Chain A
């Protein structure tokens, strides 16, 4: 996804001279093209995320569109107050981009696991939160966030993510994408874990269960209509995201369902169970170990619809 993002941004920045790219000494092999093409609009602030975020706000208040860029939790948690007070409070046109969503940097350990960011970012007024599932969504999300005026948090994976979508998509901030239609249950996912949800969908089909598959790429503002429709038209909702169970996609969907007084849908969240990842391993292996495998999704769906 990092290459998809950087390529998409570069293409936009060729035409849009308002775009600045501020990174915090991360992006080797990815950011150099922007830096060499637009040296006046590219700054590496060094390992200084608070300053990166403050500078971005200052540039944005002067009419620019500013990207902040680094990995994991560094562009969000390290400088959270700058995001709240400088960017969100001023509704500054800053796009916070992280590389390494969820467990993308799995073997590097919990310092690099980006697993509480959605919860924290979506609690901030004025902030839009986008978590694309594949390169196709990343490209569209990049262009949509530049078009959108105001703070956006774009949560990208790292590299080698498999495509969930087969081709062109209709991407709109706040509009979920129906990847597969179905009526037995709805699996709502966000981020690259969507590929496991797609695999789960295929396994379920073989079991005679046709689940609707929704990519909830925008966590804020969330697509309430799609959620309510799924609650009406299917018999259960299962959410899947590579994030702590508190405050992530599952919470966001649950909030919509709880506010909709008419809904009594069967509902289950699949996510990390409020733990730091103590085991060492690859992203796929850790997903299996911590209940995010396609089989775990399948088992949950079957269990809940047969309740």
Chain B
């Protein structure tokens, strides 16, 4: 059954997504750091996950019953930090010193930050560790789930596929991979570097249940995340078709969005497009 969001729900998601995107622009601009494009592409998914799906408690980030979320594409940490701050995991002021001398937040996701489940930064690490967490949940008879946010580049890594095979072998249907499939990686378009296609068929043939969605359509994101697992006894894999740089027109579907640094004027334009000001 398809669950349909109300207009108000969609509006609320959009407002929050705009804020997260604007924060990602602001943080990467102020610190002259990279990886903005991949923050913007996964933002809509993060917003639905963190506000409607994940069982989490910002006041008790290590609560045992929480769902685990692993950002395997750890370079997109600014967007994760922004939503964690919005939800109250840590003070908003920490976003101001992101990447700075003596700051609280490093360029890649770190467990020194409340709410971050796993320190990442090198690709191909998130899924194997997520498998271990999901296995624990099964063996111990717990009901938490494990969500892993992957990417084009993350799916280049052999270790990701080692974990894919193990998860299916052990019927980890409490494990969910979401690929922020923006089809661009650091040096170019994925189909020119390592073409993952046919990704859905590939993953299905590894005995996962796969669903392909528009990663910017809140209804599709919400509906897929509400219907997990897609098949009992199988891990679930969501191919979220996204646009790198989504929400800032100068960056959309641009290879440069991975390493872009805005100047103040460009930042203002981005804020205007997103309807956000600080």
Contact = CB atoms under 8 A, between A and B. Distances in A.
Instruction: Give the interface residue-count category, chain B.
Output: 20 to 34
A51 B128 contact: yes
B108 to A, nearest CB: 10
B179 interface: no
B119 to A, nearest CB: 6
A305 to B, nearest CB: 49
Interface in A48-102: 48, 50-51, 53-64, 66, 81-82, 85-86, 89-90
B269 to A, nearest CB: 37
B105 interface: no
B133 A85 contact: no
A109 interface: no
A51 B131 CA distance: 9
Contact of A82 (B128, B136, B137): B128
Contacts of B162: 45-46, 48, 50-51
B45 interface: no
A43 interface: yes
Dominant SS among interface residues on chain A? helix
B139 A48 contact: no
A82 B125 contact: yes
Given A54-B132, A61-B133, A48 B166 contact: yes
B131 A55 contact: yes
Contacts of A86: 118, 125, 128-129
Given A51-B162, A81-B122, A90-B111, A41 B139 contact: yes
Given A43-B135, A64-B136, A90-B118, A51 B159 contact: yes
Contacts of A60: 132
A73 B68 CA distance: 32
Interface string B146-179: 0000000000001100110110001000000000
6 contacts: A46-B162, A51-B128, A55-B131, A55-B135, A58-B132, A86-B128
